[in-house]
Amino acid sequence: MSYERPVESRYIDPVELVWFATGRRLGLRIRRNPTIFSATDGTGLLEFGPRDTLDPDDTLAQMLFHEICHWITNGERTFTERDWGFDLDADLDWREHACLRLQAALADEHGLRAVLAPTSQFRAYYDQVPVDPFGPVDGWPHEERVVPLAREASSFDQSTGT
């Protein structure tokens, strides 16, 4: 005899549920898409690649946190712009480094800098961000623009959105 058991429930990591809820509260709809790593379409849809296409240490928490840092760094108005206003076909946008500094600063408040670190090619820069996330990092272009933007983004008032 064969029996095909009906699937009536599915396990979802409780930490992921918290991050899904966080995304929803911010107006984001999160979906997996096997054709991309990470993208937002400017309507609130934020897509991430499926787990099996990501680095082993990528998590929904770390990826969503990074995208929220992009949004804060690039400005609230970029919610309606594809990929927070980044031109993904261009060379490195210096705002990426400002985002990484904000990410380090916010994660540091809870001792989570290593856990919520980016796993992509930007990890090399992130790992050089000093204990003071607004301190100098030698050898990277645009630092004179990166640091002030990161510092400005870190003063984002969550209660007023400014």
Which tens digits make up the pLDDT trace of 3-50?
Answer: 888 889 888 889 999 999 999 999 999 999 999 999 999 999 999 999
| 6 in a structural domain | no
How many domains in the chain?
Answer: 1
pLDDT range class, residue 57, cuts 50, 70, 90:
confident
Contacts of 63 (CB under 8 A, 6+ apart): 38, 48, 54
Q: Where are the alpha helices (DSSP H) in 31-88?
A: 60-74
Query: Can you give the residue range of the structural domain that contains 145?
Result: 14-154
Q: How far apart are CA 129 and CA 100, in angstroms?
A: 8
Q: Provide mean pLDDT across the span 53-60.
A: 88
Q: What is the pLDDT of residue 13?
A: 87
Q: If you search the block for the tokens 């990166």, which residue do you land on?
A: 146
pTM across the whole model: 0.88
Q: Is residue 112 within 8 Å of 60, Cβ to Cβ?
A: no
Alpha-carbon 112 to chain mean position: 14
| 160 in a structural domain | no
| 69 in a structural domain | yes
Q: What is the pLDDT of residue 139?
A: 92
| 98 in a structural domain | yes
Q: How far is CA 160 from CA 22, 76, 155, 156, 157, in A?
A: 17, 11, 12, 9, 6
| 9 in a structural domain | no
| 1 in a structural domain | no
Average pLDDT over the chain reads: 92
DSSP state of 149: H
| 7 in a structural domain | no
| 138 in a structural domain | yes
Of 110, 131, 122, 34, which Cα lies nearest the Cα of 70?
122
Q: How far apart are CA 123 and CA 54, in angstroms?
A: 14
